[in-house]
Amino acid sequence: MSELQDWIQHGAEMRRPLLANSKLRDEQKIVIIGGGLSGLCTAFRLGQKYPGKKLILVEKSDRLGGVIQSWKRDEWICDLAVNASRPHPAMWRLIDDLGLSELWKPSTDKVNSRWVWLNNSKHKISPLSLFKIGPLKLRKAIKSSRKGGKSVSQLIPHHKISDALTLGIVNDTSDNVDADFLFPSLTKFGPIQPISNRKLSKMIAPTYPIFQPKSRSIASLKGGMAVLIDTLKERIEAMSNVEVLLGQDIESPQLASEKFDTPLASIIWTAPGLIDNYEQTSLSIFAVGFEQNHVKHIPLGYGLLIPDKSIPFSGILHESDIHHSQRAPDGYRLFRLMVPHDRWDQDNLTVRKSLSEFFGKNEPALFENIGTRVIPSFKPGHMDKISKLSFDFTYLGWSVSGVAITHVVDETERLLELLEI
């Protein structure tokens, strides 16, 4: 495959390092540590491609799927982590290969707005947002960020806006987040793109199966993203060459190599916590539902980002507005609140008391703390650091070089291509 074909196949994911050991291709037994989406995709793709190889998928907990879970109660459906995917052909290819095309739909046409909470009021995110930063100031910051190792606050020199973005994506303030990790296309991290963004987008567009997504849209599964996990699990369990082991706590690739009596080169590590000085943050997820006529003052949209630490939640996602499939009973709307633990006293009542400022005085029809998420920290210089690492095993997953679902899915395709060389 030529360099240009690689970029057409993988897009901006080509900027992210692939920490794969090429000796993996010679191994007849492969052990995958971590049963989240990365481990599941890897087992699925390798199991399909190499039916003669023995694969062992090992998960620490008693369930597969990692952070991807869908909470359900009656007609309410709320994802705890990933609830949709931005456009990327690799994600569309996976959905198609799993036979989920009929359940995979774009976000509704009525929804196109996103907001940020600044100075105690809601502001729509648009090209006009640049004027809050200053176009010349922003241009200078972007140019400076291309020297590498900068924080998102240095890339986007407006603390409230940059904090809103990073809190919404990785639950951390922008001073603590690597700009190369979150926005590699802006900082020009990694290999040089062979053609312009516009030309590349035009060449990528026809490669989508199922349907060609609109710019800035998202797509999701009817029934929640847990459908993806359940389907991957079913397909993997049907493969005679794949064994799944739950409740197995393996602390390192070296210990995995010893336990399964196989070379380090045969280990694929997809679990978090392996890199030196590994840190993480945590947040709780609340599902909040209202009768439609009680929140008719809230316009349809994707959601609101809230950098103000005096408010216990950092974001409000409009779950029932976004998806084509129903996420709330008729006559109701569902919202998801992201509540970072460093700005919350762990009392659910504190969150409930804060609702009125954003939703009005009516009581919610649904108010439920549905779970907790733990997210790796990606400090400034993270991408530069990992791009220089070399291992005797393969290291994949969103704790390494990309937090998006598209990164995890595409990374597995890149691994398969490496093994074919």
DSSP character string of 352-370:
HHHTHHHH-SSPPSEEEEE
User: What pLDDT score was predicted for residue 421?
Assistant: 66
Cα dist. 149→98, 124, 172, 180, 298 in Å? Answer: 38, 30, 17, 7, 39
Task: Name the DSSP letter for residue 404.
Answer: S
CB neighbour list of residue 302: distance below 8 Å, 6 or more residues apart: 107, 111, 112, 113, 114, 317, 318, 321, 322
User: What pLDDT score was predicted for residue 111?
Assistant: 86
pLDDT at position 396 over 80? yes
Cα dist. 106→6, 82, 265 in Å? Answer: 26, 15, 40
Q: CATH for 113-144+159-172+280-376, among 3.20.20.60, 3.60.110.10, 3.90.660.20, 3.40.50.2000? A: 3.90.660.20
Nearest-10 Cα torsion for 400, 405, 411, 414: -160
The residue written with tokens 């963004």 in the block is: 197
Q: Which two tokens stand for residue 312?
A: 């216990």
CA neighbor of 56 nearest in space, from 201, 214, 241 = 241
Q: For 291-320, what is the mean pLDDT? A: 96
Q: Which two tokens stand for residue 183?
A: 């926005």
∠ CA 139-142-146, nearest 5°, is 140
Q: Distance (Å, rounded) from C-alpha 378 to C-alpha 395?
A: 16
- Boundaries of every domain in the chain: 3-68+84-105+204-277+379-420, 113-144+159-172+280-376
Q: For 155-178, what is the mean pLDDT? A: 94
Residue 158 bridge partners (DSSP)? none
User: What pLDDT score was predicted for residue 200?
Assistant: 96
pLDDT at position 302 over 90? yes
Band of the pLDDT at 130, cuts 50, 70, 90? low
pLDDT at position 1 over 80? no
Task: Name the DSSP letter for residue 207.
Answer: G
pLDDT, averaged across the chain = 94
Of how many residues is the chain composed? 421
Written as one letter, the residue type at 79 is D
pLDDT at position 402 over 90? no
DSSP character string of 104-144:
EEEPPTT---EEEEETTEEEE-SGGGHHHH-HHHHHHHHHH
Q: What are phi and psi of 218, to 5 degrees?
A: -135, 170
User: What pLDDT score was predicted for residue 135?
Assistant: 82
Q: For 396-406, what is the mean pLDDT? A: 88
Beta-strand ranges (E) seen in 277-350 are 280-291, 303-305, 315-317, 332-340
Q: Distance (Å, rounded) from C-alpha 127 to C-alpha 129?
A: 5
Band of the pLDDT at 182, cuts 50, 70, 90? very high
pLDDT at position 285 over 70? yes
pTM for this model (two decimals): 0.95
pLDDT at position 338 over 80? yes
3-state SS string over 50-107?
A: CCCCEEEEECCCCCCCCCCCEEEECCEEEECCCCCECCCHHHHHHHHHCCCHHHEEEC
Cα dist. 165→55, 116, 206, 332 in Å? Answer: 39, 9, 30, 28
Q: For 367-390, what is the mean pLDDT? A: 94
| 94 vs 129, residue with greater confidence | 94
Q: For 20-48, what is the mean pLDDT? A: 97
The 10s digit of each residue's pLDDT in 229-284 is: 999 999 999 999 999 999 999 999 999 999 999 999 999 999 988 887 889 999 99
Q: Which CATH architecture has domain 3-68+84-105+204-277+379-420?
A: 3-Layer(bba) Sandwich (3.50)
